[in-house]
């Protein structure tokens, strides 16, 4: 069982984060995910090879080496093929994503939900802001015309800052866990203890934390980032984790990911949960009731129903004007 102790809850409340060791069952939860993604990668390799975008399918390589070769060979990043959420913009009727049964089982993992319940209560909603992160080694990562890595270091942010303002009224909880060991070399997360106390900080669109300047998101791809003038980044601490560990973050805990300077991929899940009935911050995407004592009949219990929710959402949104989730315009003085 994953129920958290009073000591753990006190740590989470004081520092805004909590690492729990051996919470996710590797054999029953993580290994089936890895196996499922082998099939997704094979389908992607078949498609790219048929289109002449890669010179080989690299079928004899293990997953990490294979996806690194495919990304490097093609010069493109295909993380959307593996993600179990839709992109924030540009949704089309054939936009790829993967909502397989092993992913659903992870979202519904009993030990994980027990821990979530310890923090937000018994009425649990699976928030649709959720992602798989597959980061190939920086040295082999595809780059844009400016030489910038297309999917590299995750900049400083708060999870509330990358959702709509409605989430400010939500007790949103982040659960991050690696599918393999994550350390400072391959790009584990780093957090700023105590940074969850206070407001949602300014997030600057296209802000490059390395240069301290705004740059085009299209020509740099940094997305949203909190300038380091807004918080005490010198207090940041890396959080190395083993396969099976889980990291809990509040919606206002400032965090980022280190670069992957290793020779292997870094592979992780990024989930959100919240009390039922509160705004998700991306309400046009489909969340679902994961646990409820008050209305147990509302719980989604099978992967097929969850998969159908995402497919019907994609079909609907592909025919509509795209919605903007970003609450920041970059005009704040902190973004100058």
Q: What is the pLDDT of residue 143?
A: 84
Q: Name the band, by pLDDT with cuts 50, 70 and 90, for residue 208.
A: low
Q: What is the pLDDT of residue 2?
A: 77
Residue 89: strand, helix, or coil: coil
Write the pLDDT tens digit of every residue in 86-139. 998 899 999 999 999 999 999 999 999 999 999 999 999 999 999 999 999 999
Q: How many domains does the chain have?
A: 1
Instruction: Answer for the pair 63, 136: CB distance below 8 angstroms, yes or no.
Output: no
Q: Is the pLDDT of residue 67 over 90?
A: yes
**Dihedral Cα 77, 81, 83, 89, nearest 10 deg:** 80
Q: Is the pLDDT of residue 313 over 80?
A: yes
Task: Taking residues 167-171, report their average pLDDT.
Answer: 95
The answer as to whether 1 is a domain residue is: no
Instruction: Answer for the pair 284, 63: CB distance below 8 angstroms, yes or no.
Output: no
Q: What is the pLDDT of residue 154?
A: 85
Lowest mean pLDDT among 59-73, 214-228, 303-317: 214-228
Instruction: Answer for the pair 138, 81: CB distance below 8 angstroms, yes or no.
Output: no
d(CA 192, CA 156): 10
The answer as to whether 268 is a domain residue is: yes
Instruction: Report, in angstroms and rounded to the nearest whole number, the Rg of the chain calculated over CA atoms.
Output: 19
pLDDT, greater one: 302 or 323: 302
Residues 6+ apart with CB under 8 A from 50: none
Q: What is the pLDDT of residue 147?
A: 76
The answer as to whether 222 is a domain residue is: yes
Q: What is the pLDDT of residue 200?
A: 95
By C-alpha distance, which of 128, 150, 154 is closest to 141?
A: 150
Whichever domain contains 330, its CATH number is 2.60.120.620
d(CA 109, CA 105): 6
Write the pLDDT tens digit of every residue in 152-166. 678 999 999 989 999
In degrees and rounded to multiples of 5, residue 307 shows phi and psi of -60, -40
Q: Give CA separation, 284 vs 147, 280, 314, in Å.
A: 35, 9, 10
Q: What is the pLDDT of residue 207?
A: 52
d(CA 158, CA 201): 8
Task: Taking residues 241-246, report their average pLDDT.
Answer: 98
Instruction: Answer for the pair 231, 255: CB distance below 8 angstroms, yes or no.
Output: no
Task: Taking residues 67-71, report their average pLDDT.
Answer: 97
The answer as to whether 132 is a domain residue is: yes
d(CA 272, CA 14): 20
In degrees and rounded to multiples of 5, residue 52 shows phi and psi of 75, 20
Estimate to the nearest angstrom the gap between the alpha carbon of 57 and the chain centroid.
27
The answer as to whether 72 is a domain residue is: yes
Q: What is the pLDDT of residue 220?
A: 35
Q: Which residues pair with 17 in a beta bridge?
A: 249
Segments forming the whole domain that contains residue 187: 6-335
Sheet with 288-291: strands ordered across: 17-20, 246-250, 173-178, 266-275, 124-135, 288-291
Residues 6+ apart with CB under 8 A from 308: none
Residues 6+ apart with CB under 8 A from 281: 127, 129, 160, 163, 164, 166, 167, 170, 172, 325
Lowest mean pLDDT among 21-30, 118-127, 216-225, 308-317: 216-225
250 φ/ψ sector (left φ>0, alpha ψ -120 to 50, else beta): beta
Q: Is the pLDDT of residue 216 over 50?
A: no
The answer as to whether 124 is a domain residue is: yes
Write the pLDDT tens digit of every residue in 32-54. 999 999 999 999 999 999 999 99
Ranges of beta strands (E only) in the chain are: 17-20, 124-135, 173-178, 189-191, 204-205, 207-208, 213-214, 224-225, 237-238, 246-250, 255-257, 266-275, 288-291
Write the pLDDT tens digit of every residue in 6-20. 999 999 999 999 999
Q: What is the pLDDT of residue 191?
A: 98
Task: Taking residues 160-173, report their average pLDDT.
Answer: 94
- Residues of 77-92 as b/e, b for ≥16 C-beta within 10 angstroms? bbbebbbbbbebeebe
């Amino acid at each position: 069982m994953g129920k958290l102790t009073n000591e753990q809850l006190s740590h989470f409340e004081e520092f805004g984060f909590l690492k729990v060791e051996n919470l996710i069952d590797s054999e029953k939860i993580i290994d089936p995910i890895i196996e499922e993604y082998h099939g997704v990668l094979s389908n992607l390799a078949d498609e790219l090879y048929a289109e002449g975008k890669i010179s080989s399918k690299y079928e004899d390589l293990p997953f990490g080496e294979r996806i690194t070769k495919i990304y490097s060979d093609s010069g493109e990043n295909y993380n959307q093929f593996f993600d179990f959420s839709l992109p924030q913009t540009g949704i089309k009727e054939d936009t790829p994503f993967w909502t397989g049964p092993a992913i659903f089982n992870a979202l519904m993992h009993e030990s994980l939900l027990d821990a979530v319940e310890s923090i937000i209560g018994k009425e649990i909603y699976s928030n649709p802001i959720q992602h798989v992160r597959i980061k190939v080694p920086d040295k082999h990562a595809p780059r844009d015309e400016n030489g910038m890595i297309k999917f590299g270091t995750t900049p400083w942010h708060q999870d509330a800052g990358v959702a709509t303002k409605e989430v400010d009224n939500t007790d949103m909880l982040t659960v991050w866990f690696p599918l393999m060991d994550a350390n400072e070399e391959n790009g584990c997360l780093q957090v700023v203890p105590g940074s969850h106390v206070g407001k949602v900080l300014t997030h600057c669109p296209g802000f490059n934390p390395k240069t301290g300047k705004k740059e085009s998101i299209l020509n740099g791809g940094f997305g949203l980032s909190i300038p380091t003038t807004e918080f005490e980044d010198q207090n940041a601490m890396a959080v190395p984790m083993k396969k099976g560990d889980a990291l809990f973050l509040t919606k206002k805990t400032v965090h980022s990911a280190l670069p992957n300077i290793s020779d292997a991929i870094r592979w992780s899940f990024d989930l959100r949960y919240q009390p039922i009935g509160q705004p998700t911050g991306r309400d046009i995407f489909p969340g679902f009731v994961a646990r409820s004592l008050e209305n147990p009949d509302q719980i989604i219990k099978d992967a097929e129903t969850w998969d159908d929710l995402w497919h019907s959402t994609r079909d609907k949104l592909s025919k509509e004007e795209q919605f903007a989730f970003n609450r920041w315009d970059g005009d704040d003085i902190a973004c100058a």
